[in-house]
């Protein structure tokens, strides 16, 4: 996946799972966690992930994400985004790549050990390559995520490898770490640092930060927000705005 479509891919990551009031993780951050949706529970996201470059804007407007706790410690994931690209005086809009995945937690958290899991993702090339809504190839991501909680403070992160076939693309690595604090039952604030290697033959590595949080309207309804900027590589501003329903 091209770094200019990271918002769409990780506005999933994000995938990325929220649990009401405490232990909130994933969207609106790029870094994910190992904590799956609770057994027989659902998460629905309606959100927009946006990236602003010097001469281009890439966004999901919007994307729908669905997560389901199919088994204890296992979550099924689907994301269907509408993609928007504005570049070189050309604007395109349409259905982008579909994302599917399974989050599996294989080590439970205890006093001395973080919880550990993986969240393999597959990008199905349902987007129109001519409209810059995908590169026309199946892509896959294989990460390992860790998370630890101490009261109202939660931190998580990890590293993963993207398989990114294509004529001018190459496989690349994503790594990130996030920390957050529950200021109240209604508000959680946090931040992250993340890094990626080059995903194209003529590309470059990059690093960035994000700050954001979650507003819990009640046990089922949540608002998500974040914004950040690159600190290495191409100058990029990222924004995430979303609504989450948990059932």
Indicate the number of domains in the chain: 1
- Per-residue model confidence as pLDDT tens digits over 221-238: 999 999 999 999 999 999
The predicted pLDDT at position 137 comes to 93
The pTM assigned to this predicted structure is 0.87
Whole-number Cα distances in Å, 30 to 144, 166, 213, 228 = 14, 24, 13, 11
Cβ neighbors of 54 (< 8 A, separation 6 or more) are 234, 235
- Nearest alpha-carbon partner for 34 in 174, 157, 142: 157
Contact 33, 25 (CB under 8 A): yes
CA distances from residue 7 to 11, 115, 243 in whole angstroms, order as listed? 5, 26, 16
State what percent of residues in the chain have pLDDT above 90.
83
- Beta strands 221-232 and 74-87: pairing type? unpaired
pLDDT tens-digit readout, 56-111? 999 999 999 999 999 999 999 999 999 999 998 899 999 999 999 999 999 999 99
> What's the average model confidence in pLDDT over 128-140?
89
Residue 26's pLDDT is 75
| pLDDT for residue 17 is more than 70 | no
Mean pLDDT of 39-53: 97
What pLDDT, in 10s, does the model give residues 104-131? Answer: 999 999 999 999 999 999 999 999 988 8
We report the CATH number of the domain holding residue 133 as 2.40.160.40
Q: Which domain does 47 fall in, by range?
A: 3-246
Confidence at residue 1, expressed as pLDDT on a 0 to 100 scale: 41
Percent of the chain at pLDDT > 70 equals 90
pLDDT of residue 130: 85
What's the burial of 207, exposed, middle or buried (CB within 10 Å: 0-12/13-18/19+)? Answer: middle
Alpha carbons 125 and 240: distance in angstroms, whole number? 23
Task: Measure Cα distances from 97 to 89, 90, 162, 228 in Å.
Answer: 23, 20, 15, 24
Interatomic CA distance for residues 83 and 134, integer angstroms: 9
Dist CA 96 CA 64 (whole Å): 12
147 pLDDT higher than 50: yes
Distance, first Cα to last Cα, the chain: 31
The whole-chain average pLDDT of the chain stands at 90
Contact yes or no for 169/163 (Cβ under 8 A): no
């Amino acid at each position: 996946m091209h770094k200019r479509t990271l918002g769409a891919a990780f506005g999933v990551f994000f995938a990325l799972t929220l649990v009401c009031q405490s232990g909130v993780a994933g969207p609106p951050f790029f870094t994910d966690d190992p904590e799956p949706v609770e057994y027989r529970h659902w998460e629905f996201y309606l959100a927009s992930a946006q990236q602003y470059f010097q001469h281009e804007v890439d966004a999901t407007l919007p994307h729908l994400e669905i997560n389901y706790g199919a088994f204890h410690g296992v979550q099924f994931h689907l994301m269907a985004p509408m993609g928007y690209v504005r570049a070189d005086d050309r604007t395109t809009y349409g259905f982008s790549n579909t994302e599917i995945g399974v989050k599996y937690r294989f080590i439970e958290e205890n006093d001395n050990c973080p919880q550990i899991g993986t969240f393999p993702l597959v990008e199905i090339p349902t987007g129109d390559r001519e409209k810059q809504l995908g590169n026309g190839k199946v892509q896959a991501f294989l990460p390992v995520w860790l998370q630890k909680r101490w009261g109202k403070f939660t931190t998580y992160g990890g590293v993963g490898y993207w398989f990114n076939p294509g004529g001018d693309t190459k496989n690349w690595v994503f790594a990130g770490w996030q920390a957050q604090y529950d200021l109240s039952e209604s508000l959680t604030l946090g931040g992250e640092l993340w890094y990626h290697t080059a995903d194209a033959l003529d590309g470059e590595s990059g690093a960035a930060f994000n700050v954001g949080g979650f507003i819990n309207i009640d046990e089922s309804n949540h608002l998500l927000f974040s914004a950040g900027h690159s600190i290495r590589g191409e100058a990029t501003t990222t924004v995430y705005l979303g609504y989450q329903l948990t059932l």
